Amino acid sequence: MRRNHTMLQFFEWHIPNHGKHWEDLAILAHEFSIHGIDTVWIPPACKGMTQADNGYGIYDHYDLGEFDQKGTVRTKYGTREELLKAIAVCRKENVQVLADVVLNHKAGADDTERFEVVEVDPDNRLDEISEPFEIEGWTSFTFPGRKGNYSSFTWTHHQFNGTDYDAAQNRSGIYRILGENKAWNEQVDEEFGNYDYLMFANIDYRNPEVQDEMINWGKWFIKTTGCHGFRLDAIKHINYSYVSRFAHSMKEAYEDDFYFVGEFWNPDIEAKKQFLDQTDFAIHLFDVGLHYRFHQASLEGRDFDLRTLYDGTLVATHPTHAVTFVDNHDSQPGESLESWVEDWFKPIAYAFILLRADGFPCVFFGDYLGIRGDDPIPAKKELLDPLLDARYHLAYGEQTDYFDHANTVGWIRHGVDDLTGSGCAVVISTGDEGFKDMQVDQTLTGSVWIDVTGNRTDEVEVSEDAIGRFTVNGGSVSVWAQKKYGLRRIEAVEERS
């Protein structure tokens, strides 16, 4: 049978600049596989504007840590050779690799150019606040260290439609580049009037040469690395029609199972629906709305009504296109979109994404392996592994919900015939210690169940009418499984380790 899929985001903002990240992935791939993690989302692998860049200040799409550019051969994460080796190891462990792809902008130009712009209001990019004038912008990308390897395409201001710095006046602003057929791209998020421009030198997808070049690059990257899918960064800032064309071009070249998920950081469900419609549902989206509901619930505690948790979420309206997550690199403390889910609520939130039928769950590196930096946050691996194991071994079959109390909710996964011992009972409390009387299959009368998280040490015996009184500690989660199979499952994981 097909096992549940689980993704791990394999980075956070404070990964050290030691060039060992790809090596670490190769080392950890086997352990990930043991706990049912079959997909890893890796950080941007292309050369950034500095060695310390996390990859989003992208300089050269074709340099994966191979050429001496921007004062470094390797990227923050390692060399091209180490990247390819890590992907090969993941493939051997049946772990697919999802590459983070930055299509929106370029940074760290090799030289400046003079060209005409108009300055726009940062709060309404459709509102021009100057007459046309000339600036000196960092928009010339010639990649002298690569010397035309893999692609001879170079970039000038003609391939961009906006920038944020005038070197002649040492002045920052948002400058729309003028010229024939130059404008902000339409079919982008409507925040700030038009949210085509995000940062650095903004790539102009009205330009046919640019469109073709980025599709050629995507095919080159897939063929070179052997990755299994793309996580597309900042797609609400890129012409939706082009995003659709890019995705379909990759799928046509590398078969329909090549996977896409996009970062569309907007909790508004209607905006997500519009994007999915306009891209022909070629891309899955991270469920930002659910993340914010988790954040709110973690702050409000018992005052939050768990029965409303899924209101306004993508997993509720488009479950087959939702990638669910608790936190990520953008929401972690100190970042621009900080909305950190409180630690007490983390196991509860992960139970909601890992043990329910809908959504493709993504576990955050910062939760699983910890956050470094000046204000480190410890790893929660010992709390999350039991939930991952429960997803891999137990959380299958039809789902019956018991969302009938503001602070104590639960559900039954009834299991499947071809996975012996599958099925589980999940109970969550954000208030006091409690229980849920929940009905399992009639064939399980008299069976004894244990909490595989270890949070509860009591046992539950299912009654003659197939009802079990499944208990939970206050502010906690318990995952109940049949005792005779639950213990075998734990032993099996230990043996595989």
Which tokens is 61 given?
């799409």
Q: In Å, how far from its chain's centre is CA 79?
A: 23
Q: What is the largest CA-CA distance in the chain?
A: 82
Helix (H/G/I), strand (E/B), else coil: 281: coil
On whether 401 is known to bind a ligand per the annotation, the reply is no
Which tokens is 477 given?
């989660």
C-alpha dist (Å) from residue 402 to 134, 310, 347, 472: 64, 14, 19, 14
The answer to whether 233 is a known catalytic residue is yes
DSSP string across 235-249: GGGS-HHHHHHHHHH
On whether 239 is known to bind a ligand per the annotation, the reply is no
38, 233, 389, 451: which is the annotated catalytic residue? 233
Contacts of 347 (CB under 8 A, 6+ apart): 380, 383, 384, 387, 453, 476, 477
Give the H/E segment covering residue 284. strand 284-286
On whether 451 is known to bind a ligand per the annotation, the reply is no
On whether 17 is known to bind a ligand per the annotation, the reply is no
Nearest to 82 by CA among 60, 55, 64, 99: 64
98/328 Cα distance (integer angstroms)? 15
The answer to whether 63 is a known catalytic residue is no
Q: Find the length of the chain.
A: 497
394/355 Cα distance (integer angstroms)? 8
137/127 Cα distance (integer angstroms)? 21
38, 53, 93, 263: which is the annotated catalytic residue? 263
Residue 437 contacts residue 467 (beta carbons within 8 Å) = yes
Nearest to 286 by CA among 324, 249, 260, 238: 324
Residue 293 contacts residue 337 (beta carbons within 8 Å) = no
Residue 435 contacts residue 403 (beta carbons within 8 Å) = no
Composition of the chain by helix, strand, coil, percent to 5: 30, 25, 45
C-alpha dist (Å) from residue 64 to 81, 104, 117, 248, 357: 9, 18, 33, 24, 37
Contacts of 152 (CB under 8 A, 6+ apart): none
On whether 196 is known to bind a ligand per the annotation, the reply is yes
Catalytic residues: 233, 263
Binding-site annotation, residues for Ca(2+): 104, 183, 196, 204, 237
Binding-site annotation, residues: 104, 183, 196, 204, 237
